[in-house]
Structure 1
Amino acid sequence: MAAKQVLEDSVCCTIGTGADTSVWDDVWIPEEVARPARRAQLEVDKDLKVHHLIDPDSKEWKPELLEEFIHTDDIQRNLEIKISKSGRKDGYCWKHSKSGHYTVRTGYDIAVKQRRKNHFAPMTEPSITPLKQKQVTTANPQGDAQIFPWLMWYVWKARNEKCFNAKDISPLDTIQLARHEAETWRIAQIGDKLYETSDEEQTEHQSRARDTLVAEKRFRCLVDVSWSDKDDWMGMGFVLTEGEVVILQGQKCAPRTQAPINAEASGLILAMQETRDRGFDGVNFGSDC
């Protein structure tokens, strides 16, 4: 139940074509907790989709329809949402990561914060990390001594299956699983040592190739944006240099986008359009995203 609440509070629909998103049922209005749009009138079409509010030719919002159906306080938030120009399907955005994609780490952090806020004591399982470390430092363990940490782990898991799922796991299966995991882990440690040097050489080669490609570019353009979920507007700016000489600068204020990653993309698009319109080729673009 806790995980469900975290998802409900942290996910927002992203608008591509708008064909799959309900205006009144789906959480597509970006706020601290995303929500459906509020109505401008009591009687509305319950099947209204977001794409009905979008001009199919220009791929822009229809202001007259927004004013007719959407509450005045939500119209500005509508205009902040960027509509796909390429026909991308609607999706979902995880608001706790810069990329908009869900990660286990951010999901866990939010769940822990919510549990602490509700004063629930965290439920944890025993850790076998100290046992693994002891296993590594033991000189040439023999026989079943090698599988002891994994055996304890799978005994614990079998106990949980019995208590919570009424599922019986035989002792033989538990031992076989522990032996398999122990052998897999032992081989992985050998593989890490074998490939450590090779990975370092590959990384160095890729770094040199990347540096060479950047050096071939004559111009360098650095892009940055100012974005806050507490503001209705955001700022974008770029600086174009040739060597150490600044030859072009630009900045623009625009309605705040749905997520920081969208703001970075808007800043890059602005810089690319301005440099292209002025005839600059061979530009290396950089951002802190």
Structure 2
Amino acid sequence: MEPEDDRDPYPWIIWYIWKARNDKLFRGIDKDPLELVRYAESECQAWYNARETIPVPPQAHIAEETHALSLSNICMVNGSWTSTTKFSGLGWVWKDIMRKIQLMGTMNLRRRETALHSELEALQWTMESMIQHSPCQRFGTDCKDMIAMIEQP
């Protein structure tokens, strides 16, 4: 079981605010702020509950701790794009090995040609920011096309 400090809902809330911002900006969809916070908190709790229900064999504890630490020192990257707006959005967040947010950034710029272009620009900007400000050398994304492109150029 993880210490209560690790169940910090703020990264979840920030993430859902970012997504609501994108919905408002790119789709014209308004979300109720209180519902948004409640949903983010419930997703956070569901995540930790799901992790607690998976039994871990005793010999796997060392590997699990190493894996958890390595996943914590990662910078998560995202780009947003729609064909009907004038702007693309970029964002990233870096958590250190103690799972504490150390740096984050957001930026709007003129819409790029495709969603993949926005994602790649977000990754490039994030890497440039990390070179200047942190030792983070691992990056995560939810963009399947970018992952496929990097894995099999």
TM-score (norm 1): 0.25
The structure where helix makes up a greater share of residues is 2
Which structure ranks higher in relative contact order (CA pairs < 8 Å, sequence separation ≥ 6)? 2
TM-score (norm 2): 0.45
